[in-house]
Amino acid sequence: MIKCAILGYGFIGAVHAATLKKVQGAELVAVIENDRSKWSGVTRGNIDVDGMGSLDVPFYESIERMQNELEVDCISICLPTYLHRSFAEQAFAAGLHVVCEKPMALTVNDCDAMIAAARRSGKQLFIAQCIRFWPEYAELKKIHDAGLLGAPLSLRLHRLSGMPSWGGENSWFFQQDKSGGCLFDLHVHDIDYANYLLGKPRALFARGIKLANNTNAAVVSQYHYENGMLCTLEGSWLYFSGFKMSYAAVYEKGQVEYDSTQSPALKLWKNGASAPEILSVANTDGYVEQYNYFIDCLENGQAPKAVLPESTRLSIELALAESKSISEGRIIEL
Ligand SMILES: NC(=O)c1ccc[n+]([C@@H]2O[C@H](COP(=O)([O-])OP(=O)(O)OC[C@H]3O[C@@H](n4cnc5c(N)ncnc54)[C@H](O)[C@@H]3O)[C@@H](O)[C@H]2O)c1
């Protein structure tokens, strides 16, 4: 049994707590949260996960205090993004495996420091890029890798939401240097998925919209690949109509479409067919599946090859290139 702690009991910390209850081989033994008002509370954000509720585990103010009292194997960092690096370094120095929420960090330098700290400690670093494990996205990855529909022609990824308002209007989310804005906070899921599916592009171009305080609130980007395929990504905090994620992947012999707001949500169109095939996927989510995968890696002493930190570091490199493209108004060669 892998004994787990959660660091940061805000919105996603509460999702991790509810998720860990469903993961075989993992046991949540503690939460670390420096805001004592959250020690007995129930936290909510823009996604509801079954089982989110108050917790029956001890709360601590620091990793050190927890370790004075408990044996823990793995810590899940669910802190505001600008704190990921320093707390990952602390956790590795304390001899813990680390799950760290996306985005890995806001600079490549911080990603490198996290990778170096993991190597020094001999412990595993797993960045929670849950979309790699989201059933409909995992299905496309399977179809793509098996070449079932021939060569890819285009990929469109959308991730649209209202503002992350659960921390209030002055929260760290609305400070570019703390969250990276929508580009690093929301859109990074699709940056990472494009990286996972297609690898590093040759170049990219992006345009964005900023809030009055210069925080990015929406982005549309185009990735350019050697094979000439088209790839566009849109991420936005400016949609008032509720959260939606979707993709359309077009191949020589057909296309796969997913829209989280539709039912059925996942369709495969083969060229020439008069109607789509409805694809069914397991009734689970990427939060559970990423833990199932990582806990299995820990139990078997293996590195998490499906999400190596070097790969999520590349996603941060791409996010930074998109920021540069927005501010300089030009294509960035990679
Ligand atoms: N994978 C996803 O779907 C998803 C969704 C939302 C957020 N996230 C990511 O998760 C991270 C956290 O986001 P959130 O929405 O939960 O933020 P949040 O503001 O709701 O929660 C952060 C929590 O960390 C606590 N905290 C801050 N400093 C601390 C410290 N030094 N010690 C202990 N606790 C401390 C805060 O009190 C708060 O409870 C971000 O990196 C965000 O991008 C991922």
What pLDDT does residue 210 have?
Answer: 97
Q: Is residue 128 predicted with pLDDT exceeding 80? A: yes
pLDDT at res. 56: 84
Q: How far is the CA of 99 from the centre of ligand 1 (A)?
A: 13
Do 36 and 86 fall into the same domain? yes
Distance 140 CA to ligand 1 centre (A): 29
Question: Does 105 share its domain with 191?
Answer: no
CATH number at residue 20: 3.40.50.720
Residue 7's beta-bridge partner residues? 32, 77
In the reported structure, the alpha carbon of residue 83 is separated from the centroid of ligand 1 by a whole-number distance in angstroms of 9
Residues 53 and 187 in one domain: no
Percentage of residues of the chain with pLDDT beyond 90 = 92
Q: What is the pLDDT of residue 166?
A: 86
Helix ranges, the chain (H):
11-20, 63-69, 84-93, 108-121, 135-146, 176-179, 181-185, 188-198, 286-299, 309-328
- Which residue's CA is the nearest one to ligand 1's atom 20? 10
Domain count of the chain? 2
13-54 pLDDT, tens digit per residue, is: 999 999 999 999 999 999 999 999 888 755 555 555 565 666
Task: Give the pocket of ligand 1 (CB within 6 Å).
Answer: 7-13, 32-35, 38, 45, 78-81, 83, 101-102, 128, 130, 166-167, 185
CB atoms within 10 A of CB 129: 26
Residues 118 and 180 in one domain: no
Write out the residue range of the structural domain in which residue 183 sits. Answer: 131-282+315-333
Residues 125 and 137 in one domain: no
Q: Which residue, by CA, sits nearest to atom 4 of ligand 1?
A: 12
Both 255 and 139 in a single domain?
Answer: yes
* Residues 164 and 119 reside in one and the same domain: no
Question: In terms of domains, do 181 and 323 share one?
Answer: yes
Cα of 259 to ligand 1 centre, how many Å? Answer: 27
Query: Of all atoms in ligand 1, which is nearest to the CA of residue 167?
Result: 19
Q: Tell me, yes or no, whether 240 and 91 share the same domain.
A: no
Contact 102, 311 (CB under 8 A): no
The Å distance, Cα 33 to ligand 1 centre, comes to 10
How many angstroms separate the CA atoms of 277 and 268, rounded?
Answer: 5
Of 79, 82, 86, 163, the one to substitute when testing ligand 1's pocket (max ligand atoms within 8 A of C-beta) is 79
Whether residue 299 is found in the same domain as residue 234: no
pLDDT digits (tens, 9 = 90+) for 59-113: 999 999 999 999 999 999 999 999 999 999 999 999 999 999 999 999 999 999 9
- Please indicate, yes or no, whether residues 119 and 175 belong to a single structural domain of this protein: no
Residue of 12, 59, 190 to mutate, ligand 1, most atoms within 8 A of C-beta: 12
Residue 292 to residue 187: CA distance in whole angstroms: 24
Q: Please give the distance, rounded to the nearest whole angstrom, from the Cα atom of residue 81 to the centre of ligand 1.
A: 7
